[in-house]
Amino acid sequence: MVGTEFFGNFDLASAAIWLFYIFFAGLIYYLQTENMREGYPLETDDGQVAPNQGPFPVPKDKTFVLPHGRGEVTVPSGQNPDRPVLALQRTSKAAGSPYMPTGDAMMDGVGPASWAPRRDVAELDAHGHAKIQPMSALVDFAVSAGTDPRGKPVVTGDGEVVGRITDMWIDVPEQLVRYLTMDVNPEGSGKIRMIPMNFARIKSDRVVIRSLYEANIDGIPTIKGGSEITLLEEEKIMAYFGGGTMYADPKRGEPVI
């Protein structure tokens, strides 16, 4: 019989384990190459192609259709190829040496103030609506616990009063406060800046933003819309506040013992 003659001397257990090894190796290869659709090919800190690209090749282009009529995106070749010259200078010729800012680090977007060129569109929820919206436009939301920051003065890390809170921006699906709206002129000039909630400390009589000083307030990136904030705008605002933790005061850049 064909079955008896073939399987009589054939190790099915060995075949099964080798097939599993081959499948698992192929799975690793597939997952790793799919993971390389963004951020590749690798570059050095100077913007040159990195000499070590790793053992896996960059995958071929794949086009993804975005939801809610936002077009298509092709990666990896569809990534932004333009990279601005960063205002940084290497402290040594040795590879891996730290870079020092050569200008205004917070405005140049380097170091802790770095930001990524995300899409200049608002993040949407599953229904195609902007996820983050001002609370003043959401009739179903209200402050049910804690201290309402609206109307309170804003105090910077150097103790100066720089404005007042006029609104809160809510992540609707997550039901979280993401940003506070600050009117830079407490009298109400309409000069608005956004404060990330995780950089604000709400006290009983004020809102404190320790990462920035009074001189940094005008430099906070603005938003172009009054009812939504884009991914790129979020990236720049968060980076500015994050950069302030080190660059708002030259003393912050010194080592702490």
Per residue in 216-248, pLDDT (tens digit) is 999 999 999 888 999 999 999 999 999 999 998
Q: Where are the domains of the chain?
A: 119-253
Instruction: Decide: 95 and 45 in contact? Cβ < 8 Å.
Output: no
Tens of pLDDT along 189-212? Answer: 568 899 999 999 999 999 999 999
Judged against a pLDDT cut of 60, whether residue 183 lies above it is answered with yes
Q: Which residues contact 119 (CB under 8 A, 6 or more apart)?
A: 230, 231, 232
Between CA 190 and CA 109 the distance in angstroms is 26
Amino acid at 146: G
Specify the pLDDT at position 238: 95
Specify the pLDDT at position 134: 94
Instruction: Decide: 217 and 162 in contact? Cβ < 8 Å.
Output: yes
Beta bridge partners of 207: 154, 202
Specify the pLDDT at position 89: 84
Between CA 15 and CA 38 the distance in angstroms is 37
Judged against a pLDDT cut of 90, whether residue 17 lies above it is answered with yes
Beta bridge partners of 181: 167, 194
The whole-model pTM stands at 0.82
Domain 119-253 has CATH 3.30.470.20: no
Closest CA to 192 of 165, 161, 170, 232: 165
Between CA 225 and CA 232 the distance in angstroms is 13
Specify the pLDDT at position 187: 63
- Tell me the two tokens of residue 101: 């800012």
Share of the chain above pLDDT 90, in %: 46
Between CA 171 and CA 136 the distance in angstroms is 13
Tens of pLDDT along 40-91? Answer: 888 877 777 888 888 899 899 999 998 888 888 888 887 766 767 788 888 8
Of 107 and 3, the one with more pLDDT: 107
- Return phi, psi of residue 77, to 5°: -70, -20
Quickly tell me which residue has 């333009």 as its tokens.
Answer: 82
Between CA 248 and CA 126 the distance in angstroms is 38
Quickly tell me which residue has 């910077």 as its tokens.
Answer: 156
- Return phi, psi of residue 8, to 5°: -65, -35
Share of the chain above pLDDT 70, in %: 91
Of 151 and 43, the one with more pLDDT: 151
In three-state secondary structure terms, 113 is helix
Tens of pLDDT along 103-149? Answer: 888 888 888 899 888 888 999 998 889 999 999 988 888 888 888 99
Quickly tell me which residue has 């109307």 as its tokens.
Answer: 151
Quickly tell me which residue has 């406060």 as its tokens.
Answer: 177
- Per DSSP, 230 falls in state B
Cα 68 from chain centre: 22
